[in-house]
């Protein structure tokens, strides 16, 4: 058996394994989707939930079965967000401030919802989710840390939530116009 014959057999087997594993992950995530729906609907009923967070919760509920487009757009937006953090930090932090949840109980419920959505997103698109998280870690966090070092401030978990919320709901033109307007 020559090398090309091995590839002719191995590649289809690998693709079938990926499809099979993806189907298993999707089935395993179904109870999480139902829990996410309950949790999200309860959050949307809370009058103290900030408008931007309410919009993000609605978006997350809409993408519970497939968030490929959100992840792909996130891959494109993360470098722009990193640039905004460094070039126009006041505008950036003002924009992400809309995604903060101040009340401890409400924040706890939102974190539970967000954690469920992260698990579902990972189950829906494991490879794309991994690439997204890796890029988020290397680009956005490095930019935030550079900003923090320049300003002698340290970011917290709420900043992670806000950056993720901004990525999931922002339009690319808004991010680019923010950076260019502040430059």
In a domain, 7, yes or no: no
* Residue 18 belongs to some domain of the structure: no
What is the tally of structural domains in the chain? 1
In a domain, 123, yes or no: yes
Distance between CA 121 and CA 165 in Å, rounded?
Answer: 14
Q: What CA–CA distance (Å, rounded) separates 129 from 117?
A: 12
- Reported as a pLDDT band with limits 50, 70 and 90, residue 65 is confident
Rounded mean pLDDT of 130-142?
Answer: 79
Any domain includes 17: no
Look at residue 46 and tell me if it is in a domain: yes
Q: List the one residue out of 59, 66, 30 whose CA is nearest residue 44.
A: 59
Crossing angle of helices 172-182 and 89-97, rounded to 10°:
140
Rounded to two decimals, the pTM is 0.67
22 inside domain:
no
Whether 20 maps to a domain, the answer reads no
Is the model more confident about 70 or about 10?
Answer: 10
Domain of residue 90 covers: 30-182
Give 167's pLDDT tier (boundaries 50, 70, 90): low
Residue 11 lies in a domain: no
């Amino acid at each position: 058996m020559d090398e090309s014959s091995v590839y002719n057999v191995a590649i289809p087997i690998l693709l079938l394994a990926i499809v099979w594993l993806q189907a298993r992950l999707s089935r395993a995530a179904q109870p999480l989707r139902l829990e996410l729906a309950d949790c999200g609907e309860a959050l949307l009923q809370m009058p103290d939930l900030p408008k931007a967070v309410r919009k993000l919760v609605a978006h997350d509920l809409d993408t519970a079965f497939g968030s490929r487009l959100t992840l792909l757009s996130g891959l494109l937006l993360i470098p722009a967000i990193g640039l905004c953090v460094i070039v126009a930090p006041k505008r950036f932090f003002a924009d992400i401030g809309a995604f903060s949840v101040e009340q401890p109980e409400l924040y706890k419920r939102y974190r539970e919802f967000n954690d469920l959505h992260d698990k579902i997103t990972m189950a829906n698109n494991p490879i794309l989710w991994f690439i997204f998280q890796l890029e988020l870690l290397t680009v956005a966090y490095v930019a935030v840390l550079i900003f923090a070092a320049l300003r002698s401030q340290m970011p917290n978990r709420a900043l992670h939530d806000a950056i993720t919320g901004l990525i999931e709901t922002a339009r690319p033109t808004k991010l680019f116009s923010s950076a260019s307007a502040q430059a």
